[in-house]
Homo-oligomer: A and B are copies of this chain.
């Protein structure tokens, strides 16, 4: 029942197939994240009037867009590195990846809401909830990959105790109730988490240059 085509000749067969499955999962994820990061710009409404004054009410919207752009960029970068260190995929990884993409797909939605009500507690808290659940989904995906690769894998070594990931989740979880106290405190936390991930990470650089 096995085909005898060119792709099945010899011992090199299995790894190549795994690589292809992984390649298509990466391409699909890249597509989804690329779309999410760019459709947010569709939400930026044309400034009222033709003067610079029309831009003023858009400033919080533009800043929220920038923050969401950075968060999606961070997820893309981390996703990129994580699958870089992944050799094989399975059904659990496929669904864990779609689960992550689902929460990321809600980022433009909460961005729009926070942009329209940038001093209100509920949208600010909702933004944190989506980021928190995306972070949880990322950890689930990471664990699914490590489970497939084995505890002695390169990814398990690179991730280590994942201090940064745990700190981010803790900060998001703190930001959600704080948003009801003072929305700007939550905003500061979101910006802080983003900066934490942008600054060069020796762990990731080491993995990249490996």
Contacts and interface: CB of A to CB of B under 8 A. Distances in A.
Contact of A122 (B19, B54, B69, B109): B54
B108 A42 contact: yes
Nearest to A208: B90
A15 B21 contact: no
B37 A32 contact: yes
Interface stretch (A23-31, A131-139, A163-171, A184-192): A23-31
Nearest to A30: B28
A44 to B, nearest CB: 5
A198 B26 CA distance: 20
Give the copy number: 4
Interface residues of A, number: 85
A69 B102 contact: yes
Contacts of A33: 28
Contacts of A102: 66, 69
A91 B3 contact: no
B6 A153 contact: no
Interface in A1-48: 1-3, 5-7, 12, 14-17, 19-21, 24-28, 30-39, 41-42, 44, 46-47
A87 B120 contact: no
Contacts of A95: 73, 77, 198
Contact of A205 (B1, B51, B90, B121): B90
A166 to B, nearest CB: 21
Contacts of A30: 24, 27-28, 31
B201 A91 contact: yes
20 contacts: A1-B152, A3-B153, A3-B154, A5-B87, A5-B88, A20-B84, A21-B80, A24-B30, A25-B80, A35-B38, A46-B113, A47-B123, A50-B121, A52-B122, A54-B122, A69-B98, A76-B98, A90-B205, A90-B209, A91-B204
